[in-house]
A and B are shown apart, each in its own frame.
Chain A
């Protein structure tokens, strides 16, 4: 009798938990106490690290210091170049009238536990709802994307890794912009690209970056490197296997990416307004006349969609090729790399970039 009651109760709980959000507060209250156990089981390792750093020999510390200094130097050297490239990228985007790159804010989180179920790839981190973490937030480590937040608790959250069998991420090949979907396989060292045409230009060693098309992951972060491409004439698609760049089962410190909560349209509007402000200051970009003239019939439609972009354009005919990118969403240049490239090339060679600065 008691069994019957409890079984019915647990089935009811499961159904309610799966379908409604009614039980979320209960769960978060319980997790407040129970999630401490992950912290407790992590304690020995933490203590060991503390002891090790306390009693680390001086020579070791000096050697590590040296290593970090050289690494820092290298990274800073790369940063200098990056600053120039970012500047150039912003200018080129201004020329194309496309929306500005959004700067994401990151925050460091620490891994406190692995999911005990060996068939799922999930980890627990020490930042939660009270720290401003939101559902679906992307998580990185120093080398690439790791996954996304799938469950929020007050001071902890659960992160689904890229390699979980239930996870897929839209990616593109960094070399040529080819789009694909990378799905997890349940193996922590392998992702698989689904439905890649046999003739697609993808080869071993290609870097896959996030394309931002799913509106969940920010665009341009490294995801994986292609390990092997198998062309089997008996299969309709090529079999493409990739290795995640992030150290999914080794990283202890992770980065939570806080991208702005604005919708794509708001972002486009904001970008357009910023552009307008720039124009009024007189420092606006000069649209080069080398841009191929598109069909004039296209002009009114995008202009009506986002009125704010219209004043930003000096000559409507020249501005149109870039307008779709501004009116839809920022991921658009990534989405249509083949279409965007021929349009983007002429301005690069044109002297207009320096002309805008003078």
Chain B
């Protein structure tokens, strides 16, 4: 019984990550491209808060590598960023769970903003620096999306009894 649920759990969690990967490369209209939410970071944040034993920094690292291959960036660039995000969420885990939703959004905004800044530094090192500070916009959009992601995934988790 326990084994069956565990295997099903893994399946659902990895399915959401696969969908996240698809969403992160799905075509968007031109004006929305700079607003593309950090889907993987959002999903990771939720699953790290929900299942800190199963989803951790190693998962984040592997997903980051996958994203690097998809984006054609240096292997390890997004891995580093997702690992950092996961680390920050993990270390704030106890407090984040107690916070009301708007406060969670604020904390995640700061975390994603920091991650995007690291992203800026890394891409500046590799020679294609973005000309504007528009790169903090995805962090803002992701933070605004957090309540919906959180409610949706919580419903999914209740329904399939993932724990």
Q: Which residues of A contact B (CB under 8 A)?
A: 2-3, 6-7, 9-14, 16-18, 23, 26-27, 30-31, 34-35, 37-38, 40-42, 45, 113-120, 122, 151, 158, 165-166, 186, 249
Contact = CB atoms under 8 A, between A and B. Distances in A.
Contacts of A38: 25, 70
B21 interface: yes
Majority DSSP secondary structure for residues of A touching B: helix
A231 to B, nearest CB: 26
A27 B131 CA distance: 28
A42 B69 contact: no
A122 B83 CA distance: 26
Nearest to A37: B22
Nearest to A40: B22
6 contacts: A2-B58, A3-B87, A10-B80, A30-B66, A118-B33, A119-B131
Contacts of A9: 61, 76
Given A6-B79, A113-B27, A117-B71, 12 more contacts: A2-B57, A2-B58, A6-B83, A9-B61, A10-B64, A12-B76, A13-B65, A17-B75, A31-B69, A38-B70, A116-B71, A186-B131
Nearest to B66: A34
A37 B40 CA distance: 14
Contacts of B69: 27, 30-31, 34-35
B21 A119 contact: no
B74 interface: yes
Nearest to A17: B75
A27 B75 contact: yes
Nearest to A116: B25
A147 B158 CA distance: 49
Contacts of B33: 116, 118
B61 A10 contact: yes
B34 A6 contact: no
Interface residues of B, number: 37
Contacts of A13: 65, 74-76, 79
Majority DSSP secondary structure for residues of B touching A: helix
Interface stretch (B105-113, B122-130, B146-154): B122-130
Contacts of A151: 72
B25 A14 contact: no
Nearest to B75: A17
Given A2-B58, A41-B22, A14 B36 contact: no
Interface string B78-111: 0110011001000000000000000000000000
A14 B77 contact: yes
Contact of B75 (A7, A23, A40, A113): A23
B131 A165 contact: yes
Contacts of B34: 118
Contacts of B87: 3
Interface centre among A6, A17, A42, A114, by most chain B C-beta atoms within 10 angstroms, is: A6
Contacts of A116: 24-25, 33, 36, 70-71
A120 B21 CA distance: 19
B70 A7 contact: no
A166 B128 CA distance: 7
B53 interface: no
A14 B126 CA distance: 10
Nearest to B36: A116
A41 B76 contact: no
B7 interface: no
A59 to B, nearest CB: 31
A2 B59 CA distance: 12
Interface centre among B30, B65, B69, by most chain A C-beta atoms within 10 angstroms, is: B69
A165 B131 CA distance: 10
Q: Which 3 A-B pairs have the closest CB atoms?
A: A13-B76, A118-B33, A10-B76
Nearest to B22: A37
Nearest to B130: A119
Contact of B76 (A11, A114, A119): A11
A11 B80 contact: yes
Nearest to B65: A30
A121 to B, nearest CB: 11
Given A10-B64, A14-B76, A26-B75, A120 B24 contact: no
B70 A35 contact: yes
A41 B61 contact: no
Interface string B40-76: 0000000000000000111001001110011110111
